[in-house]
Amino acid sequence: MMGSSFSKRLQSLIDLVTNYKTLHIVMLGLDSAGKTTALYRLKFDQYLNTVPTIGFNCEKVKLNGKAKGNSFLIWDIGGQDKLRPLWRSYTRCTDGIIFVIDSVDEERLEEAKMELMRTAKSPENSRVPILVLANKQDLPGAKDANEIARLLGLSDLNGKHLWHVQSSCSVIGEGLDEGLDILYDLITEQKRLNKLSKIKR
Ligand code: G3D
Ligand code: MG
């Protein structure tokens, strides 16, 4: 993880000079949920033919909405089961988590839920805001955002994590900018809450 901590420090220096923030985001989800497609849609505004990710991809993505000027450094971590133990080292010290769901893959929703809950409950991710992308909304039979929230049991996270489910179609980029704007708001809100709880103590 040396590369990651070095790039983080370098980024902090750049942010200090420019007065804009770069937040660190990790993108997780089962293999083939659409993580890499989403990342490259956000970064290059084009659809790239992806191959299953071995290891990780990392891109700096500029925010366009209210948070214009700020950026997310997004780590896209391979989702194959052999790679999942790696998630832990990437989620350490992250500002936010994006969890991508294939909204038509009913069979693996339970597995996705297990991995999401494992990540959410890990002590190093305590209070880290979570954006769930209910992806592949263009496909017939896709479950909508409310249904995905229910099936993943996200209300269990209430009081522990700020979370939001955004429906998306990564191949055309629909829902991605909206999702990032909401995640930015959740992170800002969580930072405010963290400050408040420090003052109280
Ligand atoms: P991953 O990085 O999470 O493993 P990928 O997933 O980004 O590699 O995507 C896996 C497959 O799902 C790809 O198709 C990709 O085109 C497709 N996909 C991703 N997002 C969407 C979406 O929103 N809608 C639809 N219809 N397909 C999507 P292939 O065929 O290359 O396996
Ligand atoms: Mg990938």
Judge if the beta carbon of residue 94 lies within 6 A of ligand 1.
no
Residues of the chain with pLDDT below 70 are 1-4, 18-19, 45-50, 201
Strand 56-62 to 71-77 pairing: antiparallel
Q: What ranges do the domains of the chain cover? A: 22-200
**Number of neighbouring beta carbons within 10 Å of residue 199:** 6
Question: What pLDDT does residue 36 have?
Answer: 93
**pLDDT for the residue numbered 201:** 66
Q: Which CATH class is domain 22-200?
A: alpha beta
The pLDDT score that the predictor gives to residue 129 is 98
Ligand 1 atom 24, closest CA: 136
Does the beta carbon of 83 lie inside 6 Å of ligand 1? no
Query: From the CB of residue 101, how many other CB atoms can be counted at a distance below 10 Å?
Result: 29
> How many degrees, rounded to 5, is the angle at CA 139 between CA 96 and CA 36?
40
For residue 162, give the amino acid letter.
L
Tell me the pLDDT tens digit for each residue of 22-66: 999 999 999 999 999 999 999 886 656 667 777 788 889 999 888
Contact partners, residue 40, CB within 8 Å, separation at least 6: 46, 47, 48, 50, 57, 59
Which of 27, 48, 50 is the pocket-test mutation for ligand 1 (most atoms within 8 Å of CB)? Answer: 50
